[in-house]
Structure 1
Amino acid sequence: MTETKHLDEEFIETEERLTEKLEGQRTLDESSWQHWLIMIIAFMWSAYQIYVVVVPTNSVFVRTFHLAFALSLAFAMYPMFRTKKTMTTIPWYNFLLGPLAVMGALYIFANYDALNARSGAWSHLDVAMGLGTIFLLLKAARRTLGMALPVIAVIFMAYDYLGPYMPDLIAHKGASINKIVGQMYLTTEGIFGVPLGVSASYVFLFVLFGALLERAGAGKYFIDLSYALLGRYDGGPAKASVAASGMMGIISGSSIANTVTTGTFTIPLMKKLGFPGHKAAAVEVAASTNGQLMPPIMGAAAFIIAEFLGLNYTDVIMAAAIPAFVSYFALFYIVHLEAKKLGLKGEDPSKLDKAFTVFKSGIHYIVPIFFLMYTLIVLRQSPQMAAFNAIGFMMLIMVVQRPVYAYLEGRKLDASVFMSGFADIGHGMVNGARNMVPIAIATAVAGIVVGSVTLTGIGLVLAEVIEELSGGYIVAVLFFTAIVSLVLGMGLPTTANYIVMASLTAPIIMTLAGDLGYIIPAIAAHLFVFYFGILADDTPPVGMAAYAAAGIAKSDPIKTGLQGFAYDIRTAILPFAFFFNNKLLLIAGVDALDPNNPSLWQWITNPVEIALIFFTAAAGMFAFSSATQGWVIRQTTMLERVLLLAVVPFMLVPNMTSEWFMLGDEYLSYVVGFILYAAVYIMQKSKIKKITIGI
Structure 2
Amino acid sequence: MANLKAEGRALSEEELQELVAASDAGGRNPTGAVATFMASIALLWSVFQVVLASPLSNVILPGDLINNSRQIHLAFAIFLAFLAYPALSTSPRKHIPVQDWIMAALGAFVALYGYFFYDKIVNSGGLADDTDKWIALGGLILLFEAARRALGPAMAIIATIFLGYVFFGASEWVPEVIRWKGASLKKAMSHMWITSEGVFGIALGVSTKFVFLFVLFGALLEKAGAGNYFIKMAFGALGHLRGGPAKAAVVGSAATGLISGSSIANVVTTGTFTIPLMKRVGFSSEKAGAVEVASSVNGQIMPPVMGAAAFLMVEYVGISYVEVITHAFLPAAISYIALVYIVHLEAVKRNLPTLGNRDVHLARTIVGMASFFAIFAGLCYGSQYPVDAVTAWVPSAAGLVMTAIVTAIYVALVYLASQVPDLEPDDPNAEVVELPVIKDIYKAGLHFLLPIIVLVYFLMIEKKSPGLSAFWATALLFGILLTQRPLKAMFRGQTDLAAAFKFGVGDLNQGMVDGARNMIGIGLATATAGVIVGTVTLTGIGQVMADLVENMAYGLTYLCAAFVHLISPATDAIGLTSFQGTVAERAEDMTGTTLVFVLMCVGLLSLVLGMGLPTTANYIVVSSLMAGVVVELGANSGLIVPLIAVHLFVFYFGIMADVTPPVGLASFAAAAVSGGDAIRTGFTAFFYSLRTVALPFVFIFNTDLLLIDVTWWEGIIVFIVASIAILVFTAGTMGWFVTRSLRIESFALVLIAFALFRPDFLMDRVQPPFEISAPTQLVEVLGSVEEGSEVRVIVSGPDFDTAEVKDTTIVLPATGAADGAARLAAFGLTVFAEGDMLLLEEPFPGTPYFETMSNFDFYGDAPMRITEVKAPADQLPKELMYIPALLLLAAIAFLQRGRAARQPQEVQA
Question: What is the TM-score normalised by the length of structure 2?
Answer: 0.72
Instruction: Specify the alignment match of 2:583 in structure 1.
Output: none
Encode CA deviations 1:577-598: one digit per residue, 9 max, x unaligned.
110011111112xxxxxxxxxx
Distance across 2 between alignment mates of 1:407 and 1:536: 49
Instruction: Specify the alignment match of 2:483 in structure 1.
Output: 400
Instruction: Specify the alignment match of 1:597 in structure 2.
Output: none
The answer on 1:295 being equivalent to 2:400 is no
The answer on 1:637 being equivalent to 2:736 is no
**Of 476, 483, 489, which residue of structure 1 is paired with 2:604?**
483
Instruction: Specify the alignment match of 1:332 in structure 2.
Output: 340
Instruction: Specify the alignment match of 1:41 in structure 2.
Output: 41
- Aligned residue type for 2:229: Y
- Superposed counterparts of 1:605-684, under 5 Å: 605-606=711-712, 608-662=713-767, 664-684=876-896
Alpha-carbon shift at residue 359 of structure 1 (Å): 1.7
The answer on 1:205 being equivalent to 2:205 is no
SS class of match (2:657): helix
CA RMSD, aligned part only?
1.9
- Aligned residue type for 2:157: V
- Aligned residue type for 2:599: L
Distance across 2 between alignment mates of 1:670 and 1:12: 50
Distance change in 2, residues 1:681/1:94 (3 Å): same
Instruction: Specify the alignment match of 2:467 in structure 1.
Output: 384
Encode CA deviations 1:572-624: one digit per residue, 9 max, x unaligned.
11111110011111112xxxxxxxxxxxxxxx242x22111111111111111
SS class of match (1:253): coil
Instruction: Specify the alignment match of 1:181 in structure 2.
Output: 189
Encode CA deviations 1:23-80: one digit per residue, 9 max, x unaligned.
4833425x42222121111000000001212313555411000000000110111100
- Superposed counterparts of 1:4-83, under 5 Å: 19-21=20-22, 23=24, 25-29=26-30, 31-53=31-53, 54-56=56-58, 57=63, 60-83=67-90
SS class of match (1:251): coil
Instruction: Specify the alignment match of 1:453 in structure 2.
Output: 536
Whether the 8 Å contact between 2:16 and 2:673 is mirrored in structure 1 is no
**Of 676, 685, 689, which residue of structure 1 is paired with 2:897?**
685
Instruction: Specify the alignment match of 2:504 in structure 1.
Output: 421
Moved more, 346-355 or 562-571: 346-355
- Superposed counterparts of 1:219-618, under 5 Å: 219-350=227-358, 351-471=434-554, 472=591, 473-588=594-709, 604-606=710-712, 608-618=713-723
Distance across 1 between alignment mates of 2:177 and 2:269: 48
SS class of match (2:903): helix
SS class of match (2:273): helix
- Aligned residue type for 1:45: W
Alpha-carbon shift at residue 694 of structure 1 (Å): 12
| Paired positions, count | 667
Whether the 8 Å contact between 1:141 and 1:150 is mirrored in structure 2 is yes
SS class of match (1:635): coil
Alpha-carbon shift at residue 214 of structure 1 (Å): 0.4
Distance across 2 between alignment mates of 1:694 and 1:106: 68
Distance across 1 between alignment mates of 2:681 and 2:688: 11
Moved more, 475-484 or 664-673: 664-673
Instruction: Specify the alignment match of 1:3 in structure 2.
Output: none
Alpha-carbon shift at residue 12 of structure 1 (Å): 11
Alpha-carbon shift at residue 658 of structure 1 (Å): 1.8
Distance across 2 between alignment mates of 1:629 and 1:47: 49
- Aligned residue type for 1:301: A
Alpha-carbon shift at residue 161 of structure 1 (Å): 1.2
- Aligned residue type for 2:662: P
Q: Which structure carries more helix by proportion? A: 1
- Aligned residue type for 1:311: I
Alpha-carbon shift at residue 133 of structure 1 (Å): 0.5
- Aligned residue type for 1:109: Y
- Aligned residue type for 1:123: D
Alpha-carbon shift at residue 407 of structure 1 (Å): 2.8
Instruction: Specify the alignment match of 1:144 in structure 2.
Output: 150
Distance across 2 between alignment mates of 1:428 and 1:66: 18
Whether the 8 Å contact between 1:26 and 1:78 is mirrored in structure 2 is yes
Alpha-carbon shift at residue 318 of structure 1 (Å): 0.4
Whether the 8 Å contact between 1:15 and 1:261 is mirrored in structure 2 is no
Distance change in 2, residues 1:80/1:41 (3 Å): same
Runs of 4+ in 1 over 4 A off after TM superposition: 11-18, 21-24, 57-60
Alpha-carbon shift at residue 22 of structure 1 (Å): 5.0
What is the identity percentage for the equivalent residue pairs of Structure 1 and Structure 2?
43
- Aligned residue type for 2:486: P
Encode CA deviations 1:121-147: one digit per residue, 9 max, x unaligned.
422210111010100000000001011
Alpha-carbon shift at residue 406 of structure 1 (Å): 1.6
SS class of match (2:258): helix
**Of 97, 101, 117, which residue of structure 1 is paired with 2:107?**
101
Encode CA deviations 1:343-402: one digit per residue, 9 max, x unaligned.
112212443221132221111112211221111001111111100000011111112210
Whether the 8 Å contact between 1:26 and 1:89 is mirrored in structure 2 is no
Encode CA deviations 1:517-545: one digit per residue, 9 max, x unaligned.
11121101111111100111111111111
Distance across 1 between alignment mates of 2:599 and 2:765: 20
The answer on 1:214 being equivalent to 2:335 is no
Whether the 8 Å contact between 1:22 and 1:548 is mirrored in structure 2 is no
- Aligned residue type for 1:19: V
Distance change in 2, residues 1:298/1:225 (3 Å): same
Whether the 8 Å contact between 1:223 and 1:244 is mirrored in structure 2 is yes
Distance change in 2, residues 1:223/1:12 (3 Å): farther
- Aligned residue type for 2:546: A
Alpha-carbon shift at residue 94 of structure 1 (Å): 0.6
Moved more, 535-544 or 402-411: 402-411
Instruction: Specify the alignment match of 1:592 in structure 2.
Output: none
Encode CA deviations 1:639-693: one digit per residue, 9 max, x unaligned.
1111101112111122222213449322112222222222221111010112249
- Aligned residue type for 1:528: F
Whether the 8 Å contact between 1:28 and 1:34 is mirrored in structure 2 is no
Whether the 8 Å contact between 1:12 and 1:215 is mirrored in structure 2 is no
Distance across 2 between alignment mates of 1:110 and 1:213: 36
Alpha-carbon shift at residue 504 of structure 1 (Å): 0.2
- Aligned residue type for 1:25: G
Alpha-carbon shift at residue 120 of structure 1 (Å): 5.2
Distance across 1 between alignment mates of 2:891 and 2:73: 58
Distance change in 2, residues 1:86/1:324 (3 Å): same
Distance change in 2, residues 1:12/1:349 (3 Å): same
SS class of match (1:537): coil
Question: What is the TM-score normalised by the length of structure 1?
Answer: 0.93
- Superposed counterparts of 1:147-162, under 5 Å: 147-162=153-168
- Aligned residue type for 1:196: L
Instruction: Specify the alignment match of 1:6 in structure 2.
Output: none
Encode CA deviations 1:232-277: one digit per residue, 9 max, x unaligned.
1110000010001000111111111111111111111111111100
